[in-house]
Amino acid sequence: MQNIKNIIFDYGNVIFSINFAKVQQAFNALGISNVDEFYGHLQQDAIFDAFDRGQITAAQFRDRIREKAGRPELTDDEIDTAWNSILVGIAEGNHELLLKLKDKYRTFLLSNINDIHYQYIMKYLKRDFGFDNNDHLFEKAYYSHFTGMRKPEKAIFEKVLNENGLKPEETLFIDDSPQHLEGARALGIHTFLMTAPDTIQLFAERERLL
């Protein structure tokens, strides 16, 4: 892509595969009705936004799930297992591609995430890849629950741009959620919507990023 010097990557369904149907089924099994409205790719209950911003603790999140399910006896492990069922894993070759791209571009991670998913993913990276975190794959990683902001809010994109001296017109943002691209576009950042069966490996090859 011409004039692109910086790439900001979303995590879920761009680098790390996730499955919204699985977590909806898991929530339904806990006793939560109308799961499509409660949590989905395009809309979600306000509790998830607050958790992504770090405005509530994992304990408060679990209590909200118990309340929504009408099952105060649900254990922390049962709730965490259901919530983490959305997390599938990382496709072979993704980490290697990110390291190659880091040699050519300034690369960043920008993820809407929460404490429960973050802890699970860090353990997964250590167990399956021997990584302590994602830090070596990017110039810098930004996680919403540490910043107090989440996509598509313009402020979180401004934070990435300003802290790293990035020019929007030289920056590409890749995400799988159309609503998350809006905040980036409003600042003049180039965007790409990742949709299955496309992958970052196919995208990089097609756009000749390497």
The β-bridge partners of 164 are none
Percent of the chain beyond pLDDT 90?
A: 95
First to last CA, the chain: 10
The residue assigned the tokens 């159309």 is 178
The β-bridge partners of 171 are 6
Is residue 202 assigned to a domain?
yes
Same-domain status, 13 and 25: no
CB atoms within 10 A of CB 161: 20
Q: How far is CA 74 from the centre of its chain?
A: 26
Mean pLDDT of 71-95: 98
Same-domain status, 139 and 200: yes
pTM: 0.96
Residue 61: enclosing H or E segment and its boundaries? helix 58-69
The pLDDT, as a whole number, for residue 96 is: 98
Same-domain status, 111 and 184: yes
Is residue 141 assigned to a domain?
yes
From CA 29, how far away is CA 206, in angstroms rounded? 41
What CATH number does the domain containing 31 carry? 1.10.150.240
Same-domain status, 56 and 75: yes
Is residue 45 assigned to a domain?
yes
- Contact indicator for 121, 87 with CB cutoff of 8 Å: yes
Q: How far is CA 180 from the centre of its chain?
A: 11
Same-domain status, 98 and 31: no
Is residue 98 assigned to a domain?
yes
Is residue 135 assigned to a domain?
yes
6-9 and 171-175: which strand pairing?
parallel
Q: Which residues of 96-126 are buried (b: 16+ CB within 10 A; e: fewer)?
A: ebbeebbeebbbbbbbbbbbbbbebbeebbe
Is residue 1 assigned to a domain?
no
Domain hosting 162: range is: 6-17+91-206
> pLDDT tens across 135-184, in order?
999 999 999 999 999 999 999 999 999 999 999 999 999 999 999 999 99
Is pLDDT of 1 > 80? no
The pLDDT, as a whole number, for residue 171 is: 98
The β-bridge partners of 134 are none
